[in-house]
Structure 1
């Protein structure tokens, strides 16, 4: 009898220890995911700095207003619609599934809803899941903001953001991250080179085409430089984005796995450095000057490029991927100016061009033999066509109804005074 009591006691102690370990793992993973969420949130401040720094001083408040309201609209619309479209729980992998069974749980459940180790393989809680994904959704919309800055109507931009983040982005995301058709096909995008960055980039390209270039940007076949308001602010913005990328890519491990998280952060940093170097060299050969703007965009190009394969591309491959991305961002910027497509901050070049490159690079450099270049190409094409056409239709409808461009007078004198009543930079001299 004593033997059985002893065995039973040991089994109960083992169960208690296992339960305690499970709780500790969940807590550790969830803390890292919440920290990653905060880092991704900081990226919105980085975008604000880059866009305000590269934009003209007369439009600073307008740019900052958009960068402030974008995450607000993005998070709320993702909570209302996007989260359920992106993770509908496909019974059979497909292209569209409407399952809003989780809607009631989100809005009316207590704080303890789905916090057990059964949710997401003890990676994080239900609430952390939503918030981390919502930051990604808002990021996709912010990409569009910088490209069409200084001449787009604020109201039209906000309506676009509502539909793009609420419907277009999550539906495309569901095809891979929600277990849809692209996921079943074997398409791979670790943290969103295509699903976040190129989707936002395609939206930006559609906006640039339909809004048109700024007045005086292209004159008699030549490109006229429009100096930004603050180079220091742009530099600060880029470094904030680089910092945020540790959460963007590191959090996409979806746990605090020490080996994989640290590996991802290494490949992310190396690609950023290589991208900055590639941008520096390409700009020097193209423009015969030490172009800080292209170094900054080169860093971002390297980050975007490695995002799709940060966990499956080794450090040596990450350097090559980032370096090529840095070169491509310069060539893309030159091509856009040749086509008279005015992108204020280089968002199309950074996020679209390098997002496509980074996704295809998985099919070239991945250490996983199951990753195919052709499958990656199909995924890029499907997501690209859908994102561009959707954004184009939204902008086109807005153009034909409420209008998407401010008046020539407002554009020439600056949007700050006309739409906001204040300026971003004011020097007051005492009498």
Structure 2
């Protein structure tokens, strides 16, 4: 299969709800060639359906986004977002933004639904703990784990291994374009193009063959246009909704955003984490003031039906503001489109990126940095570390049947350890605690 990207090979491929979109034949190829089952159904529609019906996507319902499900704010139960609801909301944002720019909407939605599938229990905290455990077998990164799930671990399609003769999984067997669109960091561990010490990477060493197939002919280290749309949709969704959840749960007081001392703490969180380290805090102050000046901004919140409706309008206004700015700036730079694959770069005005970053920093400062959250995170790290140690000592006991078989077939200790990492990453918050309790006989103080 020739994946070389040649603009001369672009042709109208796969009609969408917005008319024919220019994707070449190689974009819709699959690692394992399949016959079309339903004529008239596009390859990208099939991709979307496979992700929607996957167990890995369903498991995100049991993984925390920011506010832990079941906890209460000052006066009400806010039913906060999980990784699943975040992914669904990200997909809605991405589908509409992608369609407005000329991308295939099913392709962008597939990428958005897939982008967090590799997250382990306890979110980024669990990711760090698993990375420590996996330091001698290639580390752990949620985005690399997503690729591994999509191409290896999620049971959907099996092929006969030419060397062993055994059936091996090729995951969901998505199209090349769908896997590329779900790849935020198109490089292996330690190969970040600007920061070799970065913890962000998109593929493990033993998944390089399929990664290289996905990236055949793609410009080195460059994400495709659909992946950029997915990435910005992710930023928009979680910045706005984490802020909304923080208000619902009673952790964020909008009045504090007017206090100079509080604002300086917010800038301290944002600079270097959400905006470049050389950003002038005044730019962030201006960004927050622009938001505070909008007539729909939630200057107070008491949990009443009216307040909830006003907050929901504010979240809608923010999402529209951030997406429309990117849409307009990108069209201004490249024309009306359609814009796909490696034919354009998503343009997001710096002012809008600053506004999005301020919302992230507010949620970080008032939700994630609460003292009780650090106590909970410490407990979560203990759970992951002790669970990893217990599985190491007892495996294949304690492994689910799928991972038990992979562990038994693994050729060496490094491969066996990767299976343990895969097993832990597949757990939800609750099932991680249950398995930890079963294997260690201890109780945890966290929830």
TM-score calculated relative to the size of structure 2: 0.30
Q: Could you say which structure has the higher helix fraction?
A: 1
- Comparing both chains, which one has the higher relative contact order based on Cα–Cα distances under 8 Å and sequence gaps of 6 or more? 1
TM-score calculated relative to the size of structure 1: 0.31
